[in-house]
Amino acid sequence: MIYDVYFSAFNGTNMCSMMVSSAFRGECARFNWRREGERKALSLSQEDVLVFSMPVYGGFIPSLCVPLAESLLEGDGTPAVIVATFGNRAYDNALRQMTGLLEARGFYVVAAGAFICRHSIFSTVAQDRPDSADRAEIEAFAERAAELAGHRTGKIEVPCRDDSDPSSFRGVPFHPDGRGNRCTSCGSCVRFCTTGAIDPQHPWQTDASKCIACGACIKICPAKARDYHMEGFMEARLAFEHKCASRQPNACFYAGD
């Protein structure tokens, strides 16, 4: 059985995760942890395979996914494939974080890949990725991962930027809201928000202490009212666009290499 566990606010991580899991033969069950109803306890055997895919926010996976991994996933020497998606800046500590989480839960990580998708906040960055070249790399990664799933070839080694603790990341300073007169109070963003950061009584507002800036509410808003309206955002976007203008490469790592 293939278990495809991922967090996807837009479609980038979902697409990458599906491309990887489809390389494995057998029945596949998919769980998007963005949806509370799909956060189920999973106990996997050595015959199963876990594909674990997460976006990178500030160098780490979404904070809400850490306790989910620690409480819902259980392996028994189960082969696992890790996928991190990032917005053309860097994946920093995400692969190391994901590897540690899964190894602590009884999984054997056979492959880890970091692939570029559209940036969740500055959506003009990497807006056309993954493109055809990226998809070819993901397919090649998935094929090799599938070959390695039935073997133990040694411990995987993945890089990280530094030894910073995920708890040290305090989030980004920008959070979407529904300013202006476009908000119709339809409640779509309230129902779609995975962290409960939008008050049903005031859906044009956002609780910055809960918001992880995944951008899902922007995508779902039928009136196109929600966006990053706060002061300084445009300046930060232009600076980020300039800093991350050059095409960054994907990265793949395999057990035994």
234 pLDDT higher than 70: yes
171 pLDDT higher than 70: no
164 pLDDT higher than 80: no
* Mean local confidence (pLDDT), 106-110: 97
**pLDDT in the model for residue 68:** 96
CATH number of the domain at 2-163+248-254, please?
A: 3.40.50.360
**pLDDT in the model for residue 245:** 87
Residue 53, classified by CB atoms within 10 Å of its CB into exposed (0-12), middle (13-18) or buried (19+), is buried
CA 14 to chain CA centroid, Å, is 8
180 pLDDT higher than 90: no
256 pLDDT higher than 90: no
**pLDDT in the model for residue 14:** 94
Of 72, 85, 124, the residue nearest 7 (C-alpha): 85
142 and 2 Cβ atoms separated by less than 8 Å? no
Rounded to whole angstroms, what are the CA distances from 145 to 32, 218, 253? 21, 34, 10
**pLDDT in the model for residue 168:** 52
**pLDDT in the model for residue 112:** 98
Tokens of 238: 């232009």
**pLDDT in the model for residue 21:** 96
Q: Which residues contact 234 (CB under 8 A, 6 or more apart)?
A: none
User: Which has the higher per-residue pLDDT, 86 or 150?
Assistant: 86
- Give the mean pLDDT of the chain: 91
* Mean local confidence (pLDDT), 172-186: 83
pLDDT (tens digit per residue) in 16-72: 999 999 999 889 999 999 998 999 999 999 999 999 999 999 889 998 999 999 999
- Tokens 């799909």, residue located: 38
pLDDT (tens digit per residue) in 144-160: 999 999 888 889 999 88
Of 33, 40, 88, 23, the residue nearest 61 (C-alpha): 33
* Dist CA 114 CA 125 (whole Å): 17
> Percentage of residues in the chain with pLDDT exceeding 90?
63
Q: Report the SS3 class of residue 103.
A: helix
**pLDDT in the model for residue 30:** 97
Buried b (16+ CB within 10 A) or exposed e, 71-91: ebbebeebbbbbbbbbbbbeb
Q: What are phi and psi of 228, to 5 degrees?
A: -90, 95
- When pLDDT is cut at 50, 70 and 90, the band that residue 165 belongs to is low
Of 197, 135, 170, 194, the residue nearest 59 (C-alpha): 170
H/E element, 2: strand 2-6
* Dist CA 211 CA 121 (whole Å): 12
- When pLDDT is cut at 50, 70 and 90, the band that residue 95 belongs to is very high
Domain locations along the chain: 2-163+248-254
205 pLDDT higher than 70: yes
